[in-house]
Amino acid sequence: MIKKNLCGLTSDELYDLIKPLGFTAANAVSILNNIYKKRISEISQFTKIPFRLINELLNIAESGMFLPVESEISKDGSIKYLFRTESGKEFETVYIPENKRNTVCVSTQSGCRMGCKFCVTARVGFHGNLTAGEIVNQVLAVPQAGKVTHVVFMGMGEPMDNIENVLKACSIFTAEWGLAISARNITVSTVGLMPGVEEFLSKSQCNLTISLYSPFSEERHKAIPVENHYPVMKIMEMVRNFPVKKKRRISIAYVMIKDLNDTDRHLNELKAMLSGSSVRVNLLAYHSTASDQKCSSSPERMHYFKHNLIISGISASVRKSRGADISAACGLLAAGHKLNTPAVPFLSE
């Protein structure tokens, strides 16, 4: 018999599992409290659960929680974790502490099939979607799980290419019976798969970030192949016309590359694209690899972009890079993979 993983279940799904055994919806919530709030991975150690229910669960279920197999710490305090599932899928997660804000950057796929030229993950290839449980476990499994305030879907993979599991993970992160993180503190990033973006906007209250690269379609498709199928101008038109839910943020991630997409021509087109909208621009440094001839725009150029966007009425910020020295920054996940360590079981606190 294949046992059911509890991590990744909603309260309704868990109730459906235990209802035939004579247990209640309140029992289902108690079980999920042990998983999502207490992070207890051994079913036998669950608290405030009827003894008979624990015995029944031991026969039909597993916690579905597991620890990373490796970790690497940056000089800025960020920590990159490597996970490996029992089926062999590998993916990376980053914990980013900053003052009172503690963020976990989660992956949604093992590798990626979008083929974006500026992203190291694309070179790893695609090895499969992550389940909702495998996405949620990335937050539960870091040693600092009790301190996490924000979650960003900006790790390996394209979230809109795994939209069903991403939406389910978002519901678990935000639900009272789940991790109870505010939707305002959860951001999902995409290169612009239009069907997934439309479904996400209609079914989730979490924030959305669109990776732009260039406001010119002919340039963007050279770096982001999906531009050929879903032009960013159509994505932006849909986003601008979509009813904005209260307090949800829609933003553009603009990775700045010297002499490539940081000219005044690009700035003016970016201003024209976003004029009159509430879309925010996050300007990010480009991180080159050993064989890469491109380099990031200077801090002065990035602040020049920020200043000109702001005086044009467009909200903008320069985002500080974190974890670049351990290949944990934007576009670098899976650089220098070390994949020879056996999986480690999850140990409860």
How much is the pLDDT for 326?
Answer: 63
Q: Give the whole-angstrom CA distance, residue 147 versus residue 158.
A: 26
Q: Which fold has domain 66-326?
A: TIM Barrel (3.20.20)
Strands 61-62 and 66-67, bridge-based pairing: unpaired
The answer as to CATH 1.20.120.530 being correct for domain 4-64 is: no
Query: Known catalytic residue: 330?
Result: yes
92 is catalytic: yes
- SS3 sequence of 213-248: CCCCHHHHHHHCHHHHCCCHHHHHHHHHHCCCCCCC
Of 72, 90, 92, 227, the active-site residue reads 92
Out of 112, 116, 170, 330, pick the active-site residue: 330
Q: How much is the pTM?
A: 0.92
Torsion, Cα of 295, 296, 300, 302 (10° steps): 150
- Give residue limits of the domains in the chain: 4-64, 66-326
43's CB contacts (< 8 A; 6+ apart) are 6, 54, 57, 58, 61, 62, 63
pLDDT of residue 230: 95
Residues 6+ apart with CB under 8 A from 236: 210, 273, 274, 277, 279
The predicted structure's pLDDT at residue 330? 60
Task: Flag residues of the chain having pLDDT under 50.
Answer: 338-349
